[in-house]
Chain A
Amino acid sequence: MDAYREIILLLAATIRVATPLVLAAIAGMYSERSGVIDLALEGKMLAAAFASAAVAATTGSAWLGLGAGIAAAGALALVIAFACVTHRGNQVVAAMAVNIMVAGLAPALALAWFDQGGQTPQLDGPGQRFLGLVWPWSQAARRHPIPGLAYAELLSGHNIIVYFAAALVPASAWALYRTRFGLRLRAVGENPLAVDTAGISVNLLRYQASMISGVLCGVAGTYIATAASAGFVRDMTAGKGYLALAALIFGKWRPYPTLAACLLFAFADAGAARLQGVSLPGVGIVPVQFIIALPYILTVLLLAGFVGSSVAPKAIGVPYSKEK
């Protein structure tokens, strides 16, 4: 019974860790499918984390925080689209610029506005955070652990952003494969010239994709600062943007495999916290650092074609110019 309980709690932790990864990876999917490399997931999320925590702390409303997070990440997405789509700048350079700018600007503004050494105030008032929604009868269900505990921990008890992320994946799959917009999006990432010839604006599509990515990164950053924790601290995204990118590559730029990769990486992460110092039979103590590095090692191996293969959208990273 204890092992069952452990597993359920581990899976519940996996869901919580996976949520920002799923949001960011799907965000990246829209942008990369349109042909714009999205290395700025990290920066957009960090900006949203700061903006949402700052606004939630000042106004007392998590929902206003969410709006601010989306606005901040969306503004950065607009900067990137302006540089990369309108001015055909280097996409990797633009993204790194955004990541570094936010890493400096967010703690700088936090220090200036809240005077707490680069953090925002602790969010502890009512309504300042996105808290878990307890589903009906989940307390009663705990009395019958199988399957009651699974119901109480896995289905019930998460905040609304988790459910949004869960719904986002099928919605994105539908949008990508079953709508006109999705068809055009996939086409513009593979062969922008063909899309242009068909009389559809390449730039508009890429702007739209970038903005979707910005909005979703805004939700992801808001989750990190106002749901998973209670306020903004320096560098709090801690590489999640790059991990999401790895998941996106691992999922071959498709919604469901990307979701699977996010869950796998999140499971490894949630497991690493519990495996600290625990000796596994036949393996011995697995260093936590190895588990942390595992998603990155796997992604490199995948990119190298040693375990399966993952082929990026063909036109990714190439600015489109009509004159050519």
Chain B
Amino acid sequence: MNPAAKLPRWAEYGLLPLINLCAALLISGAIIRLIGESPWAALKLMVSGAFGAQDSIGYTLFYATDFVFTGLAVAVAFHAGLFNIGGEGQAYIGGLGVGLVGLAFGSWSPWIVIPLGVLSGCAFGAAWAFVPGWLQARRGSHIVITTIMANFIASALMTYLLVNVLIKPGQQSPETREFGPGAAMPAVHDVLARMGIEFAPSPFNLASLLALAACLFVWAFIWRTRWGYALRVVGQNPQAAVYAGISPGRTILVAMVLSGGLAGCLGVNELMGSQHRMLLDFPGGAGFVGIAVALMGRNHPLGILAASLLFGALYQGGSQLSFDMPHVNRDMVILIQGLVILFCGALENVFRAPLAAILGTAGRRPA
């Protein structure tokens, strides 16, 4: 987190991520060419698959909502100098909180059930992240390892619960019964229809408003509160934090609880907004997409919003791709995701130094 060369803000937040994205797309394009398909045609298919029709736009925004939650979760931990790889597990357990509310109180009014579901999802996700946070803060256990282990433990726990406890009696597939009507997050096309605007049906739902609110909240928290300030100080220099009277341990706990709570909101979008029941592996890797989103969005809510849209489009466009190109499917998107992490994260210094030299800012301290 200590870049070798400083860049002006527009290059830091705009140009550099763009160059990194282009590098990732270029390599993916080369691989598509290697397979024997045209990368240009694939790109056009993906763009039209993601934005070409009303329902595809809906799907793009639906996926993007997931990624905003997990991206913010990774970013908040990053600001405190922590690498939370456990977004996947926290989203899974958070979804358990959402699902339990949906199963137990689904017959009540949505005005009560939905806020309750959001709170429960946050609480479950936060609790799952609290454990590695506490272990890091008080016992010095490496948070990367403990969050990875927590992912596997969460997965085993959820499989157990869905197969043995929560399964709808009399069926084979490990799924719960449907939530009551009160736990259904209104879909955007329904809301628009009530206002007299016609929009093709898609799972895009009002959890997206929650995602926007979460962006605003994270921005205000990180840059406008004393807790956010403490978080950033601990992230940049824990020793300095101690001299400033900030407790790194407590700050780590705050960051991880917030991070887990944000990841836990994924269940609101996936379960209350789309599936209306709990099923195996519903986070579907969104926790890991969050890493790419946070790195590309440079840990800023606006950047995360933009990166989430991009990945939402990639996921939606990628699933459309397989219809027209039998040899290319969504796996290609996972490759792009990995490449983005590589270029925006691990290889960020490769493009940064030459860019700084070109812009003539090498060695100059930014304001």
Contacts and interface: CB of A to CB of B under 8 A. Distances in A.
Contacts of A84: 346
B272 interface: no
A105 B31 contact: yes
B350 interface: yes
B153 interface: yes
Interface string A184-218: 00000000000000000000000000000000000
Contact of A287 (B153, B164, B326): B164
Interface hub of B140, B160, B336, B341 (most chain A Cβ within 10 A): B341
Contacts of B166: none
A104 B135 CA distance: 32
Contact of B338 (A100, A113, A115, A287): A100
A168 interface: no
A94 B345 contact: yes
Nearest to A108: B331
A133 interface: no
Interface string A100-125: 11111101110111010010000000
Interface residues of B, number: 50
A305 B139 contact: yes
A297 B292 CA distance: 27
Interface residues on A, range: 35 or more
B135 A304 contact: yes
A93 B295 contact: yes
Given A96-B85, A97-B338, A107-B331, A290 B145 contact: no
Interface in B136-173: 139-142, 144-146, 148-150, 152-153, 156-157, 159-160, 163-164
Contacts of B332: 104, 108
A19 B357 CA distance: 50
A99 B338 contact: yes
Nearest to B341: A97
Contacts of A297: 149, 153
Contacts of B329: 108, 111, 118
Interface stretch (A54-62, A153-161, A239-247, A252-260): A239-247
A92 interface: yes
Interface of A is mostly: helix
Given A111-B331, A293-B157, A89 B347 contact: yes
B83 interface: yes
Contacts of A292: 152, 156
A115 B327 CA distance: 7
Contact of B346 (A93, A105, A108, A239): A93
A17 interface: no
A109 B37 CA distance: 12
A186 to B, nearest CB: 19
B342 interface: yes
A303 B141 contact: yes
A115 B131 CA distance: 44
A102 B164 CA distance: 33
Contacts of A103: 331, 334, 338
B100 interface: no
B362 interface: no
A93 B290 CA distance: 12
B153 A83 contact: no
A96 B349 CA distance: 17
Interface in B310-348: 326-329, 331-339, 341-342, 345-348
Given A84-B346, A98-B342, 4 more contacts: A87-B350, A94-B347, A296-B156, A300-B135
27 contacts: A87-B350, A89-B348, A90-B83, A90-B346, A93-B295, A93-B341, A93-B342, A94-B342, A97-B345, A99-B338, A101-B334, A103-B331, A104-B331, A104-B337, A108-B329, A108-B332, A108-B335, A239-B152, A245-B145, A289-B159, A289-B163, A293-B153, A296-B149, A296-B153, A297-B149, A300-B131, A303-B146
Which 5 pairs between the two chains have the least Cβ-Cβ distance? A104-B334, A101-B338, A94-B346, A93-B345, A104-B335
